[in-house]
Each structure stands twice: as C-alpha cells, then as structure tokens.
Structure 1
Amino acid sequence: MQTRNPITEAILLSKSQEDIRNRLVDISPIPTYYIDNELCYQYANKACEGWLELAQKDIIGKPFAEVMGAAAIEILKDKIQSALAGNALDFEAEVPYKKGIRYVQLKYIPDIDNDGIVGGLMVLVSDITEKREMEVELQKKAKELQDYFDNATVGLHWVDSNGIIVWANKAELQLLGYTEEEYIGHHIAEFHADRPIIDDILTRLSRNETLNQYEALLRCKDGTIRNVVINSNVLWEDGNFVHTRCFTLDVTEKRKAEQFLSKANAELEHKVKERTLELSRKNEELEQFTYAASHDLKEPIRKIHFFTERLRERLAEKLQDEDLRYFDRLETGAKRMGILIDDLLMYSHISRGVSHEEVVDLNKTLPMVLEDLELSIEEKDAKIIIDALPVIKGNRLQLQQLFENLIGNSLKYSKSDSTPVIKLSSTRIKGSDTALHLSEEEESKAYHLIEVRDNGIGFEQADAERIFNVFTRLHGMAEYKGTGVGLSIVRKVAENHNGYVWAESKPGEGTTFKILLPAV
C-alpha cells in the first residue's frame, strides 16, 4: 500500500480547508472582499456582484478607488489606514455606491502574518439603510412628540413612585410661575394647597387607578391658588411604577364665572319671585276690581232697562216714530252693555284659574253645550258632527264654556248662502308631534288634540293670534254682533288646564280651532 509523505498530507489538508472556507465565504449573502495593502481587490464573493453591480472578474485585481470611486475613498481612507495599521474596526458609514448612497456597517479585519505584517484587509459589508432610515424617522417622531408635550397649552408633568416631579412642560411651569429648578426634583405635595387631596391622588395612582377630571388646588409661586382639573394614570414596565402622566387643566376663571353666574342666578331668581308675587297680587287686585266694577255696573244697566220700558209704556200714545227709534236704540245699547258685562264677569272668573278639578267626559259635556245653543243651531239650520271625544281632568263648567264659545263662534261667522257644518274630532298625540314651541318635558307628554272645524267665512292667517286678544274683533258690529271677549275666554280656559289653543284659517274656506289638552 502506497503511503503519502506527511508534509504532502499537511499541504493537501490545508488546501482542502482553505477551499472550504472560500466556498463558504463565496455563498455568504453578506458582501465580503479582500483588499491588499496596495488597496487592490484580491478576492470578492458572489454577493459583491449584486452589491457593486459588477462581475467578480471585473472586481478582482482592480484598485479599490477604481471600483468604489474617489468619493468613497475620501470617506473611508482614514478607517482603511487604521485597519492596515493592524486595528480591527466595526463602524457605520454613509457611502456612495452605483445604486445610490447607502448606510452600511463595515467590519475591517486586518490580515496579519506571524511576523506581524499586515498583508491586507478582509471587509464585510452589511446594508443598514432601511434600519437607519427607520431610526431617523423614529428620532424625528420622538422629537416632534417631545416638542408637542413641551409646548402644549395644557400643563403636563411626570411624578415618580416617591412623588418626586421628574419632568414638567412649559405650560405647567408658566401656570404656577416656577422655573425648572424650583419645580422639577421637588415633591409634588409642596405645590398642592390641600394635602389630603394630593395624598389621595398618589394613593389611587399607586393602585393603578386612572383619574378623570379630579379637582385640586395648586399653589403658585406668588402665593395665589389656582383651581385645576387633573387627568392622570401611571406608566408601568414589568410591574414597576415608572412615572405618572398627569394633565393639568386650569379652570380658575371657569370656576369664578360659575360662582358669579350662580350668585347672579340666585339674585335673579329672588327678584323674579318678588316680581311674580307682586304681579300676582296686582293681577288679583285687577281681577277683583274688574269683577266688582262689572258686578256694580249690572244694577245701573238693569235700572236703565226697567225705566226705559216703563217710560215707553207711559208715553206710548204720545211717541212718534223717531221717538220709538230712540227707545229701541237705548234698549239695544243697554242689552249690549249687559252682555259685555256678563262676558267680563265670566272672563274675570275664569282668569282666577281652576279651583276645582274632576274627571270630565267631554262626550257628556257636549250635549249640554248643544242644548244651550239650541236656538242658534235651529235658526242657522246647522249640522253638528261630533266624533268620539276624550275623558280629561279639569273644570267641567270652564270646559263647557270653552266649547260653547267655539261652536257659538262658528255659528256666528257661518256663510249666509250655505248650511253651516261644524265637526268636532280628537286625536291622542305627543307634544313633540305639534309645531308648538314646547319644553322638553311637555314634548314627552301625551295630549289630546281636539279640533273644531267649520265651513264658515274664515279669516286671514295673519290674524290667527290677534283674535284671542280681549275686545278684538275682525268685523264691525253692523255685520256680526259680539263683544270680542269669547275667544279670550277660550284661551284662558285652555291655559288653566295646562293646554294650548290656536286657529288655522283661510278667507272663504272656514276655520279650524285646535285645542291641546293634557291626557289623563
């Protein structure tokens, strides 16, 4: 059996190991090359082809400056000289390549022989461009965020687990008037005017509670106290208390305004009560006067009527036609005055409100109304249509007067050339279903909407509110008789029952009166 010389074996083994190393380096994804001390490429792996955009044969043997360019040499020359002096280097640099400027991490490994002579450099290149750009972007965002917090209009501060202030922004320092040295590094309790409050804040935060709109009092450098609202929680890392994150909102002026408004409202409420009592007293006196005056006027009117009849009878044979017309006009005026006084007495009585309430079935009330209006209905040959009406809580006599006045009004203002038709109907609705300007409470309540619709002469919608004023008439006495008080009584009755009344009309097309009364 043939044996090899040991020296030959060692040489072959060394070459085999070198070949393996070269193949491993060659297939490495990391661009790796070797330059000698003359700065010429002696080796470049496959990854260098893509990195330098050159084939291996166009790299090996070429000067470093020719492949990389003068700009790269200018940037790297000091590092290369240091490495050729025997120093292993690991550094980052911004280097121009054919594909553009790239951020790279470079490892320079000197090739030092047994005599300490540096024969060249092994260079490993890692592209960290994307990593560097991300770091730059993160640094930019961090700077922007820090600038935002530093210049926020709301006070911000951090406190550690011992209650020591570790950071505060400009707004917080300006709010309280301290410098960074006077504020940061001090215990937060030094700046609270109420010790139990800050103790409670720190205790709750240590239990990992979040504080929302927590009111406190902070002491400024000049000794004044500011009302603030604190929102805060704690930053924890691995179960350890790092620092609080506190937002401090100054509400001093808001609290002063609230106190001022509260005081002003209290004073206004007191004045309103006084004025209301005074107005109520004057209204009561006025009603009493109206009632007394109207009542006292009835007796003179009764006497005028009585003595006019006696005088007519005594002078019957002597009176001429003109004299009789004077007597007629005198009696007509006395009757009108009597009706007006009766209406005023009724208005005065109803203006006093509802003294007695009961459950009123309007289906039973309307027949009594029609009975009182029987003569007018027969005289006009009117047709009255009554749908089912509701049962409500109120004053029966006042409600009877309301419908008597409305139906009477429709009869009075009916057309002369057609049969009067008056229809009453009712619908249960919510207050929000109407076009009235009601309070939130009224909008949520249930009501009965009762309509009294006629086919009479109607009127302009612009007069729809004015007709409810006392003594308001849209027509002269020669056309339609009346005192102008009837619809005023209707509105008073509706108001006495916490309700509303309004009218919708067009000339020649009739009128609809709508009454809104609370449902039982």
Structure 2
Amino acid sequence: MSGLIRQFDWSDTSVGDLAEWPLSLRTLVRMMLTSRFPSLIFWGDELITFYNDAFRPSLGNDGKHPASLGQPGPVSWAESWPVIGPMIGAIMQGGDAVWFEDQKLPIYREGQMGYAYWTYCFSPITNDEGAVNGVLVTCSETTKTVEGIQQLKASQEFTESLFYHSPISNAVFVENDMTVRMANDAMLAIWGRDESAIGKPFLEVLPELIETGEIERLRAVMATGAPFRRTEARFDLIRYGQPYTGYYNYIYEAMRSSSGDITGVVSVAYEVTEQVLARRAVEDSEARFRSLIEEAPVATALYVGKDMRVQVANETMLRYWGKDASVIGMPLAEALPELEGQPFLGLLDDLFATGRLHEMREAPADLKVDGVLSTYYFDYTYKPLRNAAGEVYAIMNMAIDVTPTVKSNRQVQRARESLQQAVDLAQLGIWQIDLPTQSATFSGRMHSWIEYKEPLTLDDVVDAIIPADLPVFVEAYQRAQQVDSGGRLEVEYRLKNVSTGQVRLIHSIGQTHFDAQGKPVNMSGFSRDVTHERAAQLALRQQVDERTEELAATNEELAASNEELEEANQLLIRSNDNLQQFAYVASHDLQEPLRKIQQFGNLLQLRQGANRLDDESNNYIERMQLAASRMSTLIRDLLTYSRIDTHREASQPIPLNDVIADVRTNLELLLTETDTQLEVADLPTVTGDFSQLAQLVQNLLSNAIKFRQKDVTPRIRIQVQTVRAEQLPADVRPGRFTPVFHRIDVVDNGIGFDEKYVDRIFQVFQRLHGKGEYVGTGIGLAICQKVVANHGGAITAHSQPGQGATFSVYLPA
C-alpha cells in the first residue's frame, strides 16, 4: 500500500500533489501504513480514502481494491454509506468517537454484493491547525465468529422446536422424585394439567398414579438405562378436575449427557382410548371385526443440510421406511435408495432453496419394506425450519400412513362411478370481478345459465339468485374480501333462468387478490352447475351408507380426528404461505429497487464540474432520497410487525433489567444527543421472549424521545407495581388470565396527545402528526401491542396535550 500511495496521481484529488501534503496528513498516513492493525483514513471535506496492508484483505478481490484508494468515502463505500455516513458526518462536525461491535454492513467484494460483520471505531483526526479534518477507522472483521455463534444458536433452537412442536406427547423427568423438567402441550393435555405442573415431582402432579407403580418404573429406567414400553395401558386419571379412564401407548427412555451419564427419563405417549374401545365393541359384537383397526400415529423425521441428512427419525417413520436406526446420519438418498426417480428428493431440494411449506394428501410412495418394493400412500407435510438469520437449515417431515383409507376410497369411488354413469361431468363458467368498480366479466356458460342480454353484469347475476339464497351468497362474497379470510370464496346458491324459469344449483369457488396495503383488488374463479351431481351424490351416499354401516361405525371417530387435523393443517399452511410471501417481497423485491434509488441518487449529488446539477435538481434528488428512505423504513417495520405473529412465545424467565440494559446500549447515541434523563426502577423477571420484549421497550423509549417538547430536557421514568387481576381497569383485557400482573409504566414529559385517540395509536399506519412534523411509519405502537399480546398481557396509555404521556404495560406475573 505504501507503493500504491506513492504511485497514485494525487493531483486530481482534493488533497493535492503528495509533495504538498500537510505535515499532519503525512504523519497520519505514515502511522497507518506501519501499523499491523487494519486501519483506514477519510481525509478532507470529500473524505478521500487511504488504507493499509492490514485492511486490504477485507476488501477481497475484484471489488474495492485498488479502486477505493483516493476515492471519496461516499463513492468507495457507497453500499455501506447509509449506515456509516451519518456517523462520519457527525464526527467531522466535532462529534465524539464511536465504537460498534459485530455490526453487519453490506460490502462489494469478490465481484458481488454481500454482507460482513465488523468491530470498528471511528475517531476524529486533526490537520496542522488543530481542526477536525478527517476520520480514522480502526476495525476488525468478525464475520466467521458471528456466523459460528449463529449456527450454534440454530442448533439449540432446532432441539427446542423438535420437542415443543411435536404432535406426539413428550415429557422429561429428572432427579429421584422424577420432577417434571419439560412437558409439551400434548402431554399436559393427556395429564389434564396446565403448565404449573412443570417443576413439580411426578406424584405431586399425578397423585392418582401412586398405586400404579409408574414412579418405580421411571426410577428403574433412570438407574439401569433400559427402556420401558407399554401399549394400551389403562390409567384412571383426574383430568381438569373430572374422573377419566384412558388407554395409552407409551415409552420411557433414558436421557443421557454427552459423556453417556443418565441425566433423566424421556416419556413419549399417545392416547388410544377411542381405538381400544372401538375394537372391544367390535370384538363383543361380531368375530369378523375382532382384528385390530391399525392406528397410524404421526411419524416424524428431520433432514438437515442440502444433502438432506437424516438427523432424527422416530420409530413410526422408520417402520414406514422398513429401516432401522442405522440410517440415521445418512443422506436421505443413501438411506432410501428406492426414492431415486421419485419426486421427493427434487422437491426437498426446491423447498430448501425457497423455504416454502409443502403439504400433500394421499401421495403415493414406492418403499422397500421387508425386502418387498410396494406402493404406499401418505398424508405428509414438509416444513422448512429457519435459524436466527432466517436461513433454511433443515426440513421437518411429518406423515400419516393412509394406505388402507386410499384403497377403501378407491373401492367406494369405483362404486360411485358405476352409479353415476348417466351423470355428465360438470362444465365450468369462468368469471372475474374488479372489486373497486364492481365491474365483472363472465364466460358464455354463465350467460346460458341466465339467458341475459349482453353484456352480463354482476348486478344481473345477483338479481338471478333465488332470494332465499341471497344472504348466504352476500355473506360469503363479503367475507372473501377480508384479509383474515385468506381471500377464499366457496358458496352454493340457486340461479333462475330469466327466460325458462329453470333453477340450477351453482357451486362457485374463487380467490380474492389483495394489494400491499391489504385492500381487495380483484376476485376470480369459476362456477359449476351441480344440480344433478348433488342429487346423485345424495342418492349414492344413502346406498353407500347402507352397505358400509358396520365399517362406518368403527371408523367414525378416526375420521373425525383426521378431519380436525386436516382443517388445522390447512389453516396453518394458509397463514404461513401468506406471511412468507409477504416477507419475501418485503425483503427482496421491494428493498432492492429502493437501495438502487438511494445509491444512484448519491452518485448524482456527487457530480462535479460542467455536469454539476443545479439547486432545483439537487432539491428533487434530496426529496427522492427522503421518500426512498421512508419507504425502506416502512418495509422493515412491516416485516418486523408480520414476524411477531409467527414467532412462538418463548417460555423462559427474562429479567427486565437485562432488557433495559440492552436497549440502553442500542439507544446510547440518541440518549446522548438529546440529553435525555432516563430513570429506571428495579424491574421484575417475567416469562417471555427477550428480543420481543427489547423491541417493546425500545419502541416506547424511542417514541418518548421523538415526541419531546422543544427547549425542554426530555425526562423518562420507568416504574413498576403489582396489580391483581380483579383490580385491572375495565379497558384492560389481557390475552391470558393470571391472578397477578406486573404493571410497567413508561412516563415522559413530551408533547402528549388527546386521550380520545388512545385506541387509534395502537393501530397499524395510524399517526396523529404529519410526516413533516415527526418521522415514522405509524407501526411502532402496533408492534408494541402485538408483543404484549404474545406475552398474554395488555397495553394502554393516558395523556393530555402538552402534559406528557404514560404508557402502561401489563404482563403476567
């Protein structure tokens, strides 16, 4: 770098020829070049760039080096300037040095745009006259260290996610009294207990099992390490205060540390009461129903990495595969070579790249079980799992063997087809509606059903609906235009032909499309004449019911369970699809053009000489930059707001004092610049999620500082008191009942607001002031409300204009 600096033509830069450099610049550059610590200098009003050999490797190849040498800082570091530029500008204006640790910044190197983590310090440096004329940057790249920590955190998150999200009942017992260390919702439901059971001894949680010998069995597993299994075991329980007799399949397995020592006992169970009772009823009534109706528990496996290595597979999944535990640790393609040529491996590769959830019903799979290759059918789900950085690191596979059901359905379908030979296939009428104008287009079949003049309008179709069916149609149509419905329309109604008077039963299916603000834009779909089909289905259903009455009685409860599971899965898939689509658009398709607008705007502002822009052009560019910045902030806030819904509330103790300390660090510069006085009482520990609680406190403090009064030193007090549930104000409705709440008050001396707007301020995009008065997106307080709701609490506010504001957060104690 010494050689490059001597060879560089400095006469074309604002620092001038090297021989004319001031003594201070020569001294600073010489000290930088002899240092072995990565260093960089920005010098002069244009912030001309110098750097040493220790800093050079961080620039990579085919990127910034050597182009950055002698360039103005906003040009050489354009991709990072929106972050570091304001700090450097503040130092040039006389501000103090700043220090940041492990900060993520964009950087162009190795021929592409990427990100790196840095620990760095910006310090002011002076010229020969003693005035600040530059900034010294000392830094160290910490990308590998940060990414290593993120990978460790992702592994820990996976272990907890696998336990709590498993549909199979799980619990962990420790110590000689078999204290309940962990238990998921499914296990608590089997016991008929709530989360208060966690941390209590086994016999204190389930005293009705004292005489059953279960505590001795658990202790035996702890002592010997030998697993204990039982199937269809009967237990007389007291569930939710009521006597209950149930039958269960369960297993006790020893839990071992990394050194092999037994540290506890893992219990896995699922209830088979309905199946046992159904089987016994069949056995008592007729010998031909004495064979067991096989219950298919949920099989689960986890595939990690791009090679889809089998990290976890439970006994049910191994049984489906016809394999033993030796396949764990293998890539899926090696564990199940018969999958070659089937769609699953390619589908998993695609899901690992896109991060989308995939669900199938009655999907065929050719598996080699007991040495025989056969076709089986499964209801299955592939759910991508993400680490703390939002990257897909594994895919969870859950499956239910529905082979007997599929074969039975095919027999029923063949019978149905033989009875419906005279029924024509339904033909579709296609339609599309522009929702803001309520204008519509319809295919010719829709015209033939109504025989109306051209063109057919939406009002014409509505007028043709039988009046008794009109309320059902209107309710479904309006509901489909609401975002929370997913935009799905499905409704049946009768249409009357205006010429012949013929009435048809029409089945319509449609989908509403929404814009970025959640407003309905258009709805499209198809309609089908199901008059004859419904009549034939009714007749067929009666015949099938008569022929399969005995079989239906035994399968009724199982079918009900499957329907509930399918409905829950559909709701989860719809919610995740909508959220993931939004997150993808927000983080990729929207942010990228905004960054380009800002970068090219910066380049336009730096033009010199004959091509220099006039004042009016510069004004337009500044307004464009401000608008792009506001849009970028809005997108980030919306992304934060949407992710709060998908983040599961953690169940771990969070000291609020630690949360305040973390937020103080984040807001240190803002608190110093505004001379804000922050007084914090000794806060309690609550159960929740650290990052969400930090977001809550940071938003409240940032609001208090932003809406401060002119010429008045901002003062913020954080207070706490304990409130019993019966003492809560009438307008405070927490998301979860608990006898006692912590009330945390954030009190400021800012501009305040009229209390008639107290409900409005917690809604998305709601602002009480114009953008010119105070910056912001109107999402901050909506995020606060969602965080508090996730933690089972509530939030409200009290204020008067000019007299400050008090935001009260109620969290379960």
Q: TM tier, shorter chain? A: 0.3 to 0.5
Greater fraction helix: 1
Larger Rg: 1
More contact order relative to length (CA 8 Å, sep ≥ 6): 1
The TM-score normalised by the length of structure 1 is 0.45
